[in-house]
Amino acid sequence: MLLLRPDVSQPARCGIDLVAAAAHARETGGAIYLLLDGESIPVSVDGVPVITPHGVHRVWLSAVWRTASAARDVRAWWRHVEASVTREWRRELRRHIGDERLPFELRQRLRSTAEASIRRVRTETNAFPRRMLRAPSAVSLSPDFVEEARSQLTALGITDGRPLVTFESRTRPDIAAAVMDFLVSEGYAVARIGPSTEGVRCCDGVVDLTTRAPRPLSLEMFLVSASAFIMCESTDVQQLAYLVNTPSLTINARDPFVAYPVRTNGLFALSAAIDLESAQPITIGDMLTQPYFRDLHKQQVRGRRRGSHGYRDNTVEELTEAIKEMRAGIADGWASESETQSRFRQRVVEAGAALAPISAHVAEWGPDDGFIGDGRLVRFQADRVS
């Protein structure tokens, strides 16, 4: 029995929990007991029994959930404290390793102790269940919900005449307008979601849902599921695509770990990073190094609102090229990965293994036992890195 209490107020987290639970239940041959508060989830899990308990059974399972959650939080807190102490201990040891006044044998023992501490921290990584999400989701939308959501979209002006692309981005208004124009010229209807951005011009064929009342989880879920592919900037929408098995193109990504697509049908494009102190560009290769994430770690520890890194959004030309690659991937079944894209994936895996002990961010979002994802960096950026 797998007990699950998804938070429907967070669509992405809810979707990831469902997909991971379904994968785990399939592996173990178990069932999912679903505890829901408020809004129901209009999905079914193929091949896995899903039971919604009621009455005394629900009260008892809710108590079990609260107890298990409290114990999990305590374990997570202790792991965090232990990892922080271990990292500081390793830094202190490394400070003495280079002290030539100490005997050579002592410095060698200190080095061995420091390396052993790395291995202990490394075991507490991979909070994001990448391997669990690797296979296509067994979750599907209920037929009644699909019919209701389709009628809502028709009323908003989205019909079945053209393939749909869901577009979510906080990029500059001129870039967003140009990208949507290109999608419409390629024969797509576009549904724009996300935060409202002043000055974005929407042409015929684009339905702007950013200025409407907050959309329920169910409608946003259907938009993503009904799309030929999605273009998104937030991790939430990218992860919602995992729930409904929709190809995704993540744009303006700011690090290669969070945005790296788990599924084969995912692409991502990195923003251009800038060192604000020197005004020099940070290459994509440099975004996989210790200094880059060490600075991010300092920002988190010190609570600085602004770091030493700035970012430039992907240009219209870059996004147009990424859309063309997305269409080609859908057409050929994602069989045309380049050698440079494959090499970049390996570099991300290697960098994640090296950085996880010194960066909590990489420890959470990095490779899951050597697996970062079957997706790929857009080809023009992978070629640039190579």
- Give me the residues paired with residue 353 across strands: none
Question: Taking the CB of residue 323, how many other CB atoms lie within 10 A of it?
Answer: 22
**Per-position pLDDT tens, the chain of length 386:** 888 887 766 666 777 787 888 888 888 888 888 887 765 666 777 777 888 888 888 888 888 888 988 988 888 788 778 777 777 777 777 777 877 888 888 888 888 887 776 655 544 445 788 988 888 877 777 777 777 777 777 777 676 678 899 999 888 888 988 999 999 999 998 988 877 666 566 667 777 777 655 555 566 778 888 899 999 998 888 988 888 889 999 999 988 999 999 999 999 999 998 888 788 888 888 888 887 876 655 554 444 445 577 889 999 999 999 999 999 999 999 988 999 999 999 999 999 988 887 777 888 888 988 999 999 999 999 998 87
Q: Render the burial of 177-201: b for 16+ CB within 10 Å, e for the rest.
A: bbbbbbbbeeebbbbbbbeebeebe
Q: What is the 3-state secondary structure (H, E, C) of the chain?
A: CEEECCCCCCHHHHHHHHHHHHHHHHHHCCCEEECCCCCCCCEEECCCCEECCCHHHHHHHHHHHHHHHHHHHHHHHHHHHHHHHHHHHHHHHHHHHCCCCCCHHHHHHHHHHHHHHHHHHHCCCCCCCCCCCCCCCCEEECHHHHHHHHHHHHHHCCCCCCCEEEEECCCCHHHHHHHHHHHHHCCCEEEEECCCCCCCCCCCCEEECCCCCCCCHHHHHHHHHCEEEEEECCHHHHHHHHHHCCCEEEEEECCCCCCCCCCCCEEEEECEEEECCCCEEECCCHHHCHHHHHHHHHHHHHCCCCCCEEEECCCHHHHHHHHHHHHHHHHHCCCCCCHHHHHHHHHHHHHHHHHCCCCHHHHHHCCECCECCCCEECHHHHHHHC
Instruction: Give the whole-angstrom CA distance, residue 256 versus residue 347.
Output: 10
Q: Render the burial of 333-370: b for 16+ CB within 10 Å, e for the rest.
A: ebeebeebbeebbebbbebbbbbbbbbbbbbebbbbee
CB 196 within 8 A of CB 170: no
CB 348 within 8 A of CB 372: yes
pTM of the model: 0.78
List phi, psi (to 5°) of 351. -65, -40
User: Measuring CA to CA, which residue among 330, 345, 363 is closest to residue 163?
Assistant: 330
User: Measuring CA to CA, which residue among 195, 170, 194, 167 is closest to residue 181?
Assistant: 167
